[in-house]
Structure 1
Amino acid sequence: MTFVDPSEFADLVLAFRHTAFRLEARDRYNEPSEAEVVRHFLDTGELDGFYMADWVEELGPRIAEGQWMGRVRVVSEPHSDYTRFGLALAEYNTAAGEDIRYLPRHHPVVAGLPDHDFWLIDSTTLLLLRFGEDDILLGADVVTDPAVVVRHCYYRDVACHHAVPWSEYSTRVHLPEGP
C-alpha cells in the first residue's frame, strides 16, 4: 500500500480510462479550497457555476466518449450544511454527465457498507481516503490487492443499486437554500 498526497491523488482519479466511482460516507468535508464557496452558499443560497467550470470542462468530453464517473453520497437526514452544499453542486456535476446518487444513512443497506470514503478506479485500483480530525483530506492509500478491490467493487454495486439518482432525490427533498 502506498500513500499519496492530495495533489497526486487527484491525478490518479483523473487517470481513469473507463470508470471512476466514489463513495462519500461523511457528512462534512473541510477543504480549504472550497471554504469561501461553501461559506458564500450557506450565507446566500447562491452557487456560482464558475466554481465548477474546470471540472465540467474535464469531465464532459470524457463522458461523451463513453467513460463513466459516478458517486454515491451516504447522507444523514436532516442534511448537514455540507450536504446542502453538495446537493446544489451536484446540478453542475450531473450536467457534465457524472452519475451522482444519494443513499440516506438510515437505509438498512448502509450497515453493510464501509464507513470510509474511497475512489475505485477502473475496478482495479482503490484509493482509501484519509482525513484529519478537522475533516481536511490528507491523501489516500493506494490499494491494488485484488481481494480488497473486489470487495469495494461489491460495495460500489450495492450502493449504486440502492441509492437514488440526484435528479430524483433533489425533487424529494427541499433543495438547498441560504438562510
Structure 2
Amino acid sequence: MGTVFTSLSDPDFQRLFDDFHYTAYRLEALQVYGVPYEMAEFARFQAGEARGEFPGIARWADRVARGVRAGKRFHRVHVVTEPLSDYVRFECAWAYRHTVPAGEDVRIAAVPEGRWPAGLPRFDYWLFDSSVLVRMDYADDGTFVSAELVDDPEQVVQANVWRDQAVHLSVPFAEYAAGFDDLMRPARADS
C-alpha cells in the first residue's frame, strides 16, 4: 500500500499536479461527485440560475493554463451514461466548457445506461507521466473518501492500457457537446 491522501487539499496530493513533467491523465467513472467546492454552484445549476463565479473551476483552469504554457498536458476521459445525470450535465456545462479553453483535453465516452465500455474499470484514477498512479476512492454518493498512491508496477502498466483504451473509445468534448444545448440537454431537431 502506498501513501493515502484523505483530503483533496492535502499539500502532497496537490503537489502531484505541479511536479509532473509531461502528462496528467484522469479517468472519471462516476455519474455524480460530491465535491464540497462545487456544492453551491451545483445547487444554482439545478435551480436554473445563470453561471456565476466558480472559484474551484477557476483555480483548476488557471492551473491547467499554467501547465499548458509550460509544455505540460492535462487530459481526461469521462465515461458518461446516457441519459446524463444532472451532475454530469452540470460538469459539462459549467466546468468542461471552461477548462477546455484553458487547454485541458477533455474527452467523453458515452454509453447507454446499464452498459459500460469494454476493458475499462469502474473507478477513477490519475496517472502522471504514465508512471505515477493515484487511485481515487469515492463513497456511493460521490463523496471523496481517499486517494492512494499505487506503487505496484503491474497496476501502473494496467492504468496506461486503460488510458489508451478510454482515449480510443471517446470523442473530444466539443464534438460530444455539439449534440446538446447550453445546459447539456439533448438538442432538439428542427421540425
Calculate the TM-score normalised by the size of structure 1: 0.90
Determine if contact 1:40/1:46 at 8 Å carries over to the other structure.
Answer: yes
Residue 98 in structure 1 maps to residue 101 in structure 2: no
Residue 141 in structure 1 maps to residue 148 in structure 2: yes
Shift of 1:177: 6.0
1:5 alignment partner in structure 2: 6
Distance in 2, Cα, partners of 1:58 & 1:11: 12
Output aligned runs, 1:67-82, within 5 Å. Answer: 67-82=72-87
**Aligned-residue CA RMSD (Å):** 2.1
Shift of 1:175: 3.9
Determine if contact 2:83/2:112 at 8 Å carries over to the other structure.
Answer: no
1:35 alignment partner in structure 2: 39
Aligned residue pairs total: 178
Output aligned runs, 1:44-123, within 5 Å. Answer: 44-48=48-52, 50-51=54-55, 52-88=57-93, 89-106=95-112, 110-123=117-130
The residue type equivalent to 2:5 in the other structure is V
The residue type equivalent to 1:11 in the other structure is R
Shift of 1:136: 0.8
Determine if contact 2:133/2:149 at 8 Å carries over to the other structure.
Answer: yes
1:112 partner SS: coil
The residue type equivalent to 1:126 in the other structure is L
Q: Which has the higher helix share?
A: 1
1:90 partner SS: helix
Q: Match for 1:25 among 21, 26, 29?
A: 29
| Mean Cα deviation higher: 95-104 or 132-141 | 132-141
Distance in 2, Cα, partners of 1:72 & 1:48: 26
Extract unaligned runs of 5+ from structure 1.
Answer: none
Shift of 1:83: 0.4
Question: Residues 47, 133 of structure 1: CA spacing in aligned structure 2 closer, same or farther, 3 A cutoff?
Answer: same
Distance in 2, Cα, partners of 1:177 & 1:164: 16
Extract unaligned runs of 5+ from structure 2.
Answer: 186-191
Distance in 2, Cα, partners of 1:156 & 1:49: 32
Question: Residues 45, 176 of structure 1: CA spacing in aligned structure 2 closer, same or farther, 3 A cutoff?
Answer: farther
Calculate the TM-score normalised by the size of structure 2: 0.85
Shift of 1:131: 1.1
2:47 partner SS: helix
The residue type equivalent to 2:45 in the other structure is F
Identity %: 34
Shift of 1:13: 3.3
Shift of 1:33: 1.8
Distance in 2, Cα, partners of 1:126 & 1:165: 23
Determine if contact 1:42/1:177 at 8 Å carries over to the other structure.
Answer: no
Question: Residues 125, 171 of structure 1: CA spacing in aligned structure 2 closer, same or farther, 3 A cutoff?
Answer: same
Distance in 1, Cα, partners of 2:79 & 2:70: 28
